Structure 1
Amino acid sequence: MSDHTTTALPPYSHELNWPENLVPFKVIDEDGSQGYPYPHYAWMRENAPVMRAATPGADVWFLTRYEDVRKALRAPKIFSSEVVTPVPITFLTLFDAPNHARLRKVVARAFTPKSVGIMEDRVRTIGTDLLEKMIENGGGDAVSDYTLQLSMATISGILDVPAEDVEKMKFWSDEIFTYFAQLARNAPGNDTAAESTRDFLAYLLNNLERLYREESEAVGGHIARMWKEGLLNDKEASELCSFMFVAGHDTTTLLMAGAFQQFSETPELLHRLRENPADIEPFVEELARFRGPIHRTVRKTTEPVELHGVTIPEGSIVRLMIASANRDHTKFPDGDTFDMDRDSSGHLGFGHGVHSCVGAPLARLETTITVELLTTMLERIELDPDHAIEYMKGNNISNGPNVLHVRLHSRDRSLVS
């Protein structure tokens, strides 16, 4: 990367000669045509690795090759995370140093090996109960019946949120994510997100008051004490809790759903992992590479950047396409194929650099236990032919199956109904 500037700008996405089976890649995926975006990514890596797309506000740039994305993630002074100034909401992904390091230190306490280890029995118990219910019904929606419930219960336990409030928390977390997208990425919003966000943050502050009074040993209690000691103000304390809840369940929900989907496509791996439990770890890492839920992260250039003969101007919004980078054949040969025997080290499924995923240990734990349960309790997982997979629309930071109906065959090879 250099600061050499040129005057010529590349054509916009909609001006490129896309193949007939692909509509031009858009910033906002209103019609869902980018719900399964990997064919788009493959074409962009080959034909437009530095691509420009038009929006009513400003141009948005996309980087899709592994080396370009990796280098940008490691250059926070050039590719700034503070795309909106001042930072409107205390989400770690919106901060540069020094505030990022200060706030990350607080959140990191949630995901130490000790903190995560304490959750293992809880994750296994809840996961077993959820999967047994699905088996009794012959299957169901892997997302709503299993992965979403498990991830919400886990992060709620870490934050010490009353069980009866979890459904309300889920609604609020969806709303604050919409609000966050409006502020940080000019994404479409709704009429209720701002008010719901205020309600959510007020609830979290009240919960911190309770945790402080009760001297809670949960991570929520730790945040409450830091707040009361003046190390965090009201805004930071409540918004950090909201960030942990949103980030702690959304991506893990999608990653675990990817395990159900993968076993439906490569059923022989259920038997292999059951016979060779040591192979579960490389399976999970390849899953994070191949079906990683974080598809993009947003940066703002602080100086002109030249890549592949194209100059991205200073002050440009750049989307680093992590999920595309993870399938780049130059880094991962035959990258559009799931291969748990490959060397998947260096994948960006849990981020990279200063903004690597602070919750990665918890995501790995939940996914590993889920894979263990699937391999020990099931003989086969099939996609339900009566229900199509519904993917999230492709303008989100995260992506993956939103609805994934499966049929589950228990270990006795019979379909329980």
Structure 2
Amino acid sequence: MSATAETANTPATPKGTPPIPGAQLPYSHEIDWPDGLAPWTVIDEKGTQGEPYAHFKWMREHHPVLRVHHPSEDVYFLSRYQDVRKGMRSPKIFLNQVNNVPPFAFPTLLDGAAHVKLRKVIASAFIPKTIALVTNRVREVAEARVKALVDAGGGEVVNDVSRPLTIATISGILGVPVEDLDKIHFLSDQMFVYFARLSRMAPGTDDDEKYTKEFFAYLNMTLRRLHEEKSESVAGHIARSWLDDGVLTEDEATELCAFVFVAGFETTERLIAAGFRELEANPDLLRRLRDNPEQDSEKFIEELVRFRGPVHKAPRRTTEDFEFAGVMIPKGSIVRLLLASANRDESQWPHADQFDIDRETDGHFGFGHGVHACVGAPLARLESKILFQVLARDVESVEFDPQKDLTLLKGNSLTNGVDTLTVKVTPRQEA
């Protein structure tokens, strides 16, 4: 490791030492990374950050503030728990709104009154009564997906289990007909690509804007239909906030509906797929979930969110100079809070790189934190809990070959996790 790289961002800065200006830090690609770890990049286009936990551990120890070059502007990555917590708890200094003009009315892109307005609409829609309306649907789909998996002796987890479950659930929440699910899933994927291109420094596709407009047109039509039907769904509530109360504009209602749809399945499907990884790595977990389904399924999900939560980064823009780990990050900088790294910080959780169902997980950032905590977390917990309860009841073991059967996401700027995972399952004879 070069002397510059080693000393420019040392973990322990003596008291009284002036902070190092962020602009003097070496870039990630200028640092001598350990063998096997490629330099950290803003967008993981080569797939070297699919399993980033070794990167995170090294960053926490050697470069807790990491400066990464991007053609549009530098990005600073914060990897330690206390630093991430400080950023998450200082919304006036670390703004969610990183663009001067947010491309969509997504709560995760806004701050202040605009954020509060949208969050209030969603929060008042995601009440226990609304979630209870889809509980039976979640269980029916979970039962059907697990039965199909067991009957086939296994299958591809994302396409065969987690995606059908999460899309069916969120479509029920939003009042989308089952026959439209394949179409809407494709369009929502394209919208996410378009959104990432506009807001998260990610590459796009030639048709992402066209498909996004088609997606918004479909949701606009759905909102009008649900308003006429006086639907009690979340989308029905959003429609009334627009058409009856005037709280939302037409564009805000449509885009908020799109946000709920994408946020409602993308992360949960990755979380469920991650759960299969832990069931294979820790075979006794199935017995635990089977013997004590209510309590241990809740503990399993919470540790899974800490250990393999799919949302890895939270982008922010600073409103003033701010010091972290002896480095002064300048006002107006793009900062990415590494939530997944904070969740593996050994100073917060001993043996943090071990999955421990009995661990005390309070304080993890798997569902965000503070004013930007995930409103849909109860729904994600419900879906995951029911799915793994059913799976533990009917399945004796889960097996796969990590080298052959597992592929991880790449090219994404915010989320991480399983892209595809093919497993073999052994059914329980009692089931």
Q: TM-score, normalised to structure 1's length?
A: 0.96
Moved more, 237-246 or 85-94: 85-94
**Contact conserved, 1:379 with 1:410, CA < 8 A, in 2?**
yes
Q: Quick check: 1:21 aligned with 2:36?
A: yes
What amino acid does structure 2 have at the position aligned with 1:88? P
**Contact conserved, 1:66 with 1:326, CA < 8 A, in 2?**
yes
**Contact conserved, 1:109 with 1:115, CA < 8 A, in 2?**
no
Deviations 1:322-374 (A, max 9, x none): 00100000001111110111111111111101100110000000011011011
Deviations 1:126-165 (A, max 9, x none): 1100111111111000110000010000000000011111
Structure 1 residue 5 displacement after superposition? 7.6
Sequence identity (%): 50
Q: Residue in 2 aligned with 1:269?
A: 285
What amino acid does structure 2 have at the position aligned with 1:125? E
Q: Residue in 1 aligned with 2:253?
A: 237
Q: Quick check: 1:279 aligned with 2:296?
A: yes
2:315 is matched with which residue: 289, 298, 306? 298
Structure 1 CA distance, aligned partners of 2:101 and 2:213? 19
**Contact conserved, 2:194 with 2:212, CA < 8 A, in 1?**
yes
What amino acid does structure 2 have at the position aligned with 1:371? F
Q: 1:66 to 1:394 in 2, by over 3 A?
A: farther
Structure 2 CA distance, aligned partners of 1:323 and 1:263? 20
Structure 1 residue 110 displacement after superposition? 3.5
Deviations 1:100-145 (A, max 9, x none): 1110011113422222122211101111001111111110001100
SS at 2:66 equivalent: strand
Q: Quick check: 1:371 aligned with 2:363?
A: no
Q: 1:5 to 1:309 in 2, by over 3 A?
A: closer
Structure 1 residue 212 displacement after superposition? 1.1
Q: Residue in 1 aligned with 2:4?
A: none
Q: Residue in 1 aligned with 2:117?
A: 102
Structure 2 CA distance, aligned partners of 1:228 and 1:239? 15
Structure 1 residue 233 displacement after superposition? 0.8
Structure 1 residue 384 displacement after superposition? 4.8
Structure 2 CA distance, aligned partners of 1:27 and 1:408? 37
**Contact conserved, 2:22 with 2:327, CA < 8 A, in 1?**
no
What amino acid does structure 1 have at the position aligned with 2:317? K
1:63 is matched with which residue: 78, 95, 108? 78
Q: Residue in 1 aligned with 2:405?
A: 388
Structure 2 CA distance, aligned partners of 1:110 and 1:142? 30
Deviations 1:41-90 (A, max 9, x none): 11111110000000111101100101110110110111001101122101
Q: Quick check: 1:74 aligned with 2:98?
A: no
What amino acid does structure 2 have at the position aligned with 1:187? A
**Contact conserved, 2:81 with 2:348, CA < 8 A, in 1?**
yes
Q: Residue in 2 aligned with 1:345?
A: 362
**Contact conserved, 1:4 with 1:304, CA < 8 A, in 2?**
no
Q: Residue in 2 aligned with 1:39?
A: 54
Deviations 1:22-59 (A, max 9, x none): 11111111111111111111111111000000011110
Deviations 1:168-197 (A, max 9, x none): 111111111111111111210110111111
Q: Equivalent residues in 2 for 1:313-352 (5 A)?
A: 313-352=330-369
What amino acid does structure 2 have at the position aligned with 1:147? S
Structure 2 CA distance, aligned partners of 1:60 and 1:388? 34
Moved more, 340-349 or 151-160: 340-349
Structure 2 CA distance, aligned partners of 1:297 and 1:172? 24
Structure 1 CA distance, aligned partners of 2:420 and 2:23? 43
- 5+ residue gaps, structure 1: none
Q: 1:101 to 1:4 in 2, by over 3 A?
A: farther
Structure 1 residue 412 displacement after superposition? 1.8
What amino acid does structure 2 have at the position aligned with 1:162? P
**Contact conserved, 1:293 with 1:398, CA < 8 A, in 2?**
yes
2:217 is matched with which residue: 187, 191, 202? 202
What amino acid does structure 2 have at the position aligned with 1:209? R
Q: TM-score, normalised to structure 2's length?
A: 0.93
Structure 1 CA distance, aligned partners of 2:396 and 2:85? 39
**Contact conserved, 1:350 with 1:356, CA < 8 A, in 2?**
yes
Q: 1:180 to 1:351 in 2, by over 3 A?
A: same
Q: Residue in 2 aligned with 1:354?
A: 371
Question: Over aligned residue pairs, what C-alpha RMSD do you find?
Answer: 1.6
SS at 2:102 equivalent: coil
- 5+ residue gaps, structure 2: 1-17
**Contact conserved, 2:28 with 2:68, CA < 8 A, in 1?**
yes
**Contact conserved, 2:190 with 2:212, CA < 8 A, in 1?**
yes
**Contact conserved, 1:81 with 1:94, CA < 8 A, in 2?**
yes
SS at 2:227 equivalent: helix
SS at 1:289 equivalent: helix
1:289 is matched with which residue: 296, 301, 306? 306
Q: Equivalent residues in 2 for 1:217-236 (5 A)?
A: 217-229=232-244, 230-236=246-252
**Contact conserved, 2:21 with 2:330, CA < 8 A, in 1?**
no
Which contiguous aligned blocks of 4+ residues in structure 1 show a shift greater than 2 angstroms?
Answer: 3-8, 384-388
Q: Quick check: 1:257 aligned with 2:257?
A: no
Moved more, 91-100 or 276-285: 276-285
